Amino acid sequence: MLAFYWAPEDADQGFSQKIFYIHVPIALTAYAGFGWGAWKALRLLWTGERRYDLESYTAVHIGVIFGLLTLVTGSIWAKISWGHWWTWGERQLVLFLILFLFYSSYFMLRYSTEPGPRRQRNSAVYALFGVVLIPVSFLAVRIAGTILHPTIFTHEGADLPWQMLVCFLVSLGGMLALAGTLYQVELAGKRADGSLRELRELLA
């Protein structure tokens, strides 16, 4: 919210630029979810402990929710900036489309494999592929695409007024905190589900 009232307006893009403070932190949070999921997947393969499966799955789940939000906010940004809801020139958007397709397949994989060690391992391996796919696709989209995105960080970091940076960081912190909370809540819910099922079985 701070972002909307306080951040100075971008000379080129004006008020619409403020979606930047929402869009980019959401995208970074999605990456964090995918990365965390892959880390837990690696732990699963390494140690074989079952709890990592649920943790990895939940993290990917959060990542996909934020990835979808990235697509939505990015598409709003595209509409405001370029007048189209979708533009293939927008690298970040294309990348998130690829990732969204990839992680949707991750869910398909989970739903169509019987629960058990095999599913845990297969989904873990696929989650690891995802985190490798991110930089690879990023590179692919970068060498393929035209460059329309305002690359604020890469050229001159100095053209970002400090108020903008503060707003950006506050927003990023907020998003990460939100994702972290969601992760904990989801995980607690799924664990409770699991324990309940075991309890019911013991009684049966």
Which CB atom, from 79 or from 119, has the smaller least distance to another protein? 119
Residue 56 touching another protein (CB under 8 A): no
Interface residue with another protein among 4, 8, 84, 136 (CB under 8 A) is 136
* 51-59, 70-78, 118-126, 160-168 -> range binding another protein (CB under 8 A): 118-126
Instruction: Name the residue nearer to another protein (CB basis): 105 or 184.
Output: 105
Q: Among residues 3 and 124, whose Cβ is nearest to another protein? A: 124
**Least distance between another protein and beta carbon 134 (Å):** 11
Q: Does position 192 bind another protein by CB under 8 A?
A: no
Q: How far is the CB of 64 from another protein (least distance, A)?
A: 13
Q: Which of 95, 111, 104, 125 is nearest to 31 (CA)?
A: 95
Residue 45: HSE in the Cβ half-sphere, 13 Å Cα cutoff: 13
CB of 125 vs another protein, minimal distance in Å: 5
User: Taking CB under 8 A as the rule, does residue 51 contact another protein?
Assistant: no
147 binds another protein, rule: CB under 8 A: no
* Residue 160: C-alpha distances to residues 8, 101, 103, 166, 183 (Å): 10, 33, 33, 10, 32
* Beta carbons of 56 and 131 less than 8 angstroms apart: no
Contact (Cβ atoms closer than 8 angstroms) between residue 60 and residue 35: no
Quote the CA–CA distance of 40 and 46 in Å, as a whole number. Answer: 10
Structure tokens given for 197 = 């099922």
Least separation in angstroms between CB 141 and another protein: 7
Q: Which amino acid is at 201?
A: E
66 near 23, Cβ under 8 Å? no
C-alpha R_g of the chain: 19
Q: Which two tokens stand for residue 162?
A: 């400090």
In the bound state with another protein, the residue whose beta carbon lies nearer, of 1 and 202, is 202
**Of residues 8, 14, 117, 189, which one binds another protein by CB under 8 A?**
117
**Chain residues that interact with another protein, rule: CB under 8 A:** 45, 48, 98-99, 101-102, 104-105, 108-109, 112-119, 121-122, 124-126, 128-129, 132-133, 136-137, 139-141, 143-144, 197, 201
